[in-house]
Every structure is written in structure tokens, then in C-alpha cells.
């Protein structure tokens, strides 16, 4: 079934039938519910961001015990949020939260898996690109600089790679505190 088939199907429905169909989708599929929650209320979008930040935190630095550092779970959380997010700012914040949590984990417990460092750098790069595309470097510069400082403890060149990305995207060095 293609988009054309769906359009043909939907074009035969009345407005009331379309509304009922959307309500049914919201009841059946949690992702659809989140999609509409984010679009109907800024408070709900903030709650969704908090939900996905908590998923990431529980994988890296849970309130009790050690995190599993499960990258597939973290990637899934980022991708799910990406599908429902209304603004780019929430996605940037979620990506930076991942880098920040990873950096804090390294600071508290020492080294982590090589691929985890690579994922942190990729998340930071993705966040940089989103900010650049939306021409919001001035708004985000201080937040990114803070992440660079926190990531400086990360090994395997991760901290240096994050520093280099900051330098390239923001056109300056993130001076140490």
C-alpha cells in the first residue's frame, strides 16, 4: 500500500470519519498518541522530552546501580523522540543529554566501550548540524561549550573529537573553565 492508496482512501471519508479514525489510531498506537500530544500542547512536548531523557539516563547513570550502556535502547529512544518532536530544540537537548550522561559516566566510573564513545561523538555532531541548519549557534553556544568541558574526560579521542566539532561548528575554541 502506497501513499497514493492512502490518500484515495482518506479522501472518501468525511471530516467526522477522519477524526474518528485518528482517535482510533491514538488509542491503538502509543507513537501516534505521542505525536499528537507533542503537537497539541507545549507542556506535553516537554513531558515527552523528559520521558526520553529518563530512558537514556537509566541506560547510562540510573539512580541506583550501574547502567547497561545499551546503545540500541538509547538509539531507539532518540529515534522515537525524533518521530514525535515538534521542534528541533528538543532533539538537540536529547542528543546533548546523551553526551552529557556518557561524559558523567566516564567521570564517575572510568572508561566505557569504544563504540559508546563513537556514539557520543555522533550524537554531538548531529546536534551541531541541527543547530547549524536552524541558524541557532548564538542561542546554543554556551550549552554546547558546557558539554565540551564535561566530555573532556572521555577517552579514545572522544573528548578531543567533541572539542574539534565545537571548534568547527561554532568557530571558536571552548576555553577551559
At 130, the pLDDT band (50, 70, 90 cuts) reads very high
169, 125 contact by CB (below 8 A): no
- Residue 76 sits in a domain whose CATH number is 1.25.40
- 145-173 pLDDT, tens digit each: 999 998 988 777 888 999 999 999 998 77
Place of cell 535502547: 73
- 70-93 pLDDT, tens digit each: 999 999 999 999 999 989 999 999
Residue 18 sits in which domain range?
1-40
Tell whether 9 and 27 lie within a shared domain.
yes
Tell whether 103 and 126 lie within a shared domain.
yes
Q: What is the mean pLDDT of the chain?
A: 92
Average pLDDT for residues 2-18, to the nearest whole number?
A: 95
Q: How many domains does the chain have?
A: 2
3-state secondary structure 21-69: HHHHHHHHCHHHHHHHHHHHCHHHHHHHHHHHHHHHHHHHCCCCCCCCC
At 121, list the grid cell: 561523538
Which pLDDT score is estimated for 176? 57
Tell whether 147 and 71 lie within a shared domain.
yes
Which pLDDT score is estimated for 89? 96
Tell whether 25 and 64 lie within a shared domain.
no
Q: Tell me if 177 is assigned to some domain.
A: no
Q: Tell me if 142 is assigned to some domain.
A: yes
Q: Tell me if 149 is assigned to some domain.
A: yes
Average pLDDT for residues 17-24, to the nearest whole number?
A: 96
Q: Tell me if 110 is assigned to some domain.
A: yes
Which pLDDT score is estimated for 108? 85
Which pLDDT score is estimated for 174? 65
Amino acid at each position: 500500500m502506497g501513499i497514493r492508496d492512502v490518500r484515495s482512501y482518506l479522501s472518501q471519508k468525511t471530516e467526522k470519519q477522519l477524526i474518528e479514525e485518528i482517535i482510533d489510531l491514538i488509542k491503538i498506537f502509543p507513537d501516534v498518541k505521542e505525536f499528537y500530544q507533542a503537537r497539541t500542547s507545549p507542556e506535553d512536548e516537554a513531558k515527552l522530552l523528559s520521558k526520553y531523557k529518563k530512558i537514556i539516563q537509566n541506560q547510562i547513570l540510573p539512580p541506583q546501580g550501574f547502567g547497561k550502556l545499551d546503545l540500541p535502547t538509547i538509539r531507539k529512544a532518540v529515534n522515537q523522540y525524533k518521530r514525535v518532536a515538534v521542534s528541533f530544540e528538543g532533539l538537540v537537548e536529547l542528543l546533548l543529554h546523551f553526551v552529557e550522561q556518557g561524559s558523567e559516566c566516564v567521570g564517575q566510573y572510568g572508561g566505557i566501550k569504544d563504540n559508546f564513545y563513537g556514539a557520543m561523538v555522533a550524537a554531538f555532531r548531529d546536534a551541531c548540524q541541527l543547530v547549524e541548519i536552524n541558524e541557532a549557534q548564538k542561542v546554543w553556544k554556551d550549552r554546547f561549550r558546557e558539554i565540551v568541558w564535561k566530555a573532556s574526560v572521555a577517552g579514545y579521542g572522544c573528548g578531543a573529537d567533541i572539542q574539534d566539532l565545537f571548534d568547527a561548528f561554532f568557530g571558536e575554541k571552548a576555553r577551559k573553565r
